[in-house]
Chain A
């Protein structure tokens, strides 16, 4: 199970990387593994506001359709359009090329509500 350092995680298996005022978000290795082959990602729209732990995107795989929640609040700065043509990137490279959205961070304090890699690892192992 790949859980990289330097990221924050949610219990719904999203990751977020904070760089200044921008947060890049995606789904974790655990999530892509559980979903199986991803066939479609319904991306958020640029300029759309999102709230922490509220619906941000949906993802479909050969097994199921699932919701993706925003790990932090803010405004969508960019969505990963390459997933439209190649949703399999979420499986191949969930922490880099398979990112879902970049969010203009509204409140840096919200990271307090997230898990660090060690806490997320412990959480996943308990599932």
Chain B
């Protein structure tokens, strides 16, 4: 693929500037003048248009192809939410406006969206209050752990540990460590859920919280969750819910009812706002009443006369966590998505997501090892049988690129050897899933018959197999 500089020809240009119609002035200081010529490509407008149009066609997105990235809920983003977020009354609002005298009166609609979104998320998750400020999932996690720390601090005790199962998302231990906690890992049992005996052994009154994902990263519902919550609350450790997998249980059960005290959601996963470079994220955090006073400011409140206002009067708040009110237009899209689907639609979302994942699992279980015979919204396969032929999960993932699919998550969760983690989401049709399954079956056959073909993949990309280590081993910090 040519760089735009390769297309450069001396003298070729897009625009011709008109002659200066103001007097020329001398630069005040020669040190501000460049000494070497400015290196810009000399290209025509058509060159520029073709170059960037062709580059854009190399993008992979959920708008172009299936994106079965396990643990990351990459569902289609319906376009009507894009239209709504472009309404002038929303997208041209100045964020300072509600803080100016009389300004709140001019942004009642926006404040109502924030207030209503909080209410809807409370209803969906069974929590009592929400903050919409965190700008992404990991930011939400940090917010949540800071709220937990504030809770224990207010009780005048310093707790040192956060318990996290070995199947957790890598961001969980990172967030807890950044917030100042030491991490205790607990193993999974043979079923792939939390080992209760191991938890009891490690749980004591120096534990601040247990961070869990439910269903967990093996796609399994933690069926002892109420007992885990009971044990945690016995020593006043809080239960933290990582909302990455909420898609599986939407409308069927609520983390708040399962005993969780703090939750973060990824609006860009469950509530279908753009994801992975397609737009900013949003990681709202919900809490039970006992943690409300620690929530970040500002909060949106509803006055007795039905109007909305920003409220900064929360002396126990952990303070500001983000600019203004979070990524407002992302929150707006999620609000629209929730209202559009309604209660029945959200329930069907989870059903279809779980059905799709189980369909993939059932049709592939004879070709790959499986972590479990049934799953929730995602399934974990293992390419362990293929390693006998020298083929690894990585090779199968690369082959799927040639088939027109985004590779699934590989080598995660860490507790499964040669893991391939597939999350189809509810938005894919049976035809798409069948095509994907056929390609996965073909990969398993190729592993036996012609493993070299898999080792060479991908062949259809601008550059073939990338060196997985070069960037990490030979990091060139000068160019960052």
A residues near B (Cβ < 8 Å) are: 34, 36-40, 60, 62-64, 86-88
Contact across chains for B414 and A64 when beta carbons are under 8 A apart: yes
Residues of A within 8 A of B414 (CB): 64
Instruction: Give B residues with C-beta under 8 Å from A.
Output: 392, 394, 410-412, 414, 417, 468-469, 472-473
Cα(A14)–Cα(B423), bound, Å: 35
Quick check: B468 and A37 within 8 Å, CB to CB?
Answer: yes
CB nearest to B419 among chain A residues: A63
**Given A36-B394, A60-B472, A88-B469, 10 additional A-B pairs, CB 8 A:** A36-B411, A37-B468, A37-B469, A40-B472, A62-B469, A63-B411, A64-B411, A64-B412, A64-B414, A87-B473
A62 touches B472 (CB 8 A): yes
Tell me, rounded to whole Å, the shortest Cβ–Cβ distance linking B343 to chain A: 40
| A64 to B414 Cα, complex, angstroms | 8
Are B411 and A88 within 8 A (Cβ)? no
Q: Is the CB of B472 within 8 A of A88?
A: no
Closest B residue to A38 by beta carbon equals B469
Which of B392, B394, B473 is the one whose CB lies under 8 Å from A88? B473
Q: How far is the CB of B454 from chain A (nearest CB, A)?
A: 16
Q: Which of B392, B394, B417, B469 contacts A39 (CB 8 A)?
A: B469
How close is A46's CB to chain B, nearest CB, in angstroms?
24
Residues of A within 8 A of B472 (CB): 39-40, 60, 62
> For residue B412, which residues in chain A have a CB less than 8 angstroms away from its CB?
64
- Bound Cα distance from A64 to B410, whole angstroms: 11
Contacts of A60 in B (CB 8 A): 472
> How far is B29's CA from A113's CA once the two chains are assembled, in angstroms?
74
- Compute how far the CA of A34 lies from the CA of B394 in the bound complex, rounded to whole angstroms: 13
Give the docked Cα–Cα distance between A63 and B469 (Å). Answer: 10
**In the bound complex, CA of A63 to CA of B394 (Å):** 10
Residue of B nearest to A65 (CB): B170
Q: Which of B394, B410, B414, B473 has the most CB of A within 10 A?
A: B473
> Sorted from nearest, which 10 A-B pairs have the closest CB atoms?
A39-B472, A63-B411, A62-B468, A37-B469, A39-B469, A64-B414, A39-B473, A37-B468, A62-B469, A87-B473
Residue of B nearest to A33 (CB): B387
**Nearest CB of A to B169, in Å:** 13
Instruction: List B contacts of A87 (CB < 8 A).
Output: 473
A36 to B130, CA, bound (A): 42
How many angstroms from the CA of A60 to the CA of B410 in the assembled complex? 16
CA distance A60 to B392 in the complex (A): 19
- Nearest residue (CB) in A for B393 is A63
Tell me, in angstroms, the Cα distance from A111 to B394 when the chains sit together: 38
User: Closest residue to A66 on the B side, CB-wise?
Assistant: B414
What's the Cα separation between A86 and B410 when bound, in Å?
25
- In the bound complex, residues from chain A placing their C-beta under 8 Å from that of B410 are 63
Residue on A nearest B471 in the bound complex, by CB = A39
Contacts of A37 in B (CB 8 A): 468-469
Instruction: Tell me, in angstroms, the Cα distance from A40 to B473 when the chains sit together.
Output: 7
Question: Closest CB of chain B to A28's CB: distance in Å?
Answer: 16
Cα A36 to Cα B468 in complex, Å, equals 10
12 A–B pairs (Cβ distance < 8 Å), ordered by A: A36-B411, A37-B468, A37-B469, A39-B472, A40-B472, A60-B472, A62-B468, A62-B469, A62-B472, A87-B473, A88-B469, A88-B473
How long is the Cα–Cα vector from A62 to B468 in the complex, in angstroms?
7
Which residues of the partner chain B approach A86 to less than 8 Å between Cβ atoms? 473
Report the Cα distance A34→B417, complex, angstroms.
8
Expressed in whole angstroms, the minimum distance between the Cβ of A53 and any Cβ of chain B is: 15
In whole Å, how far is B317's beta carbon from the nearest beta carbon of chain A? 34
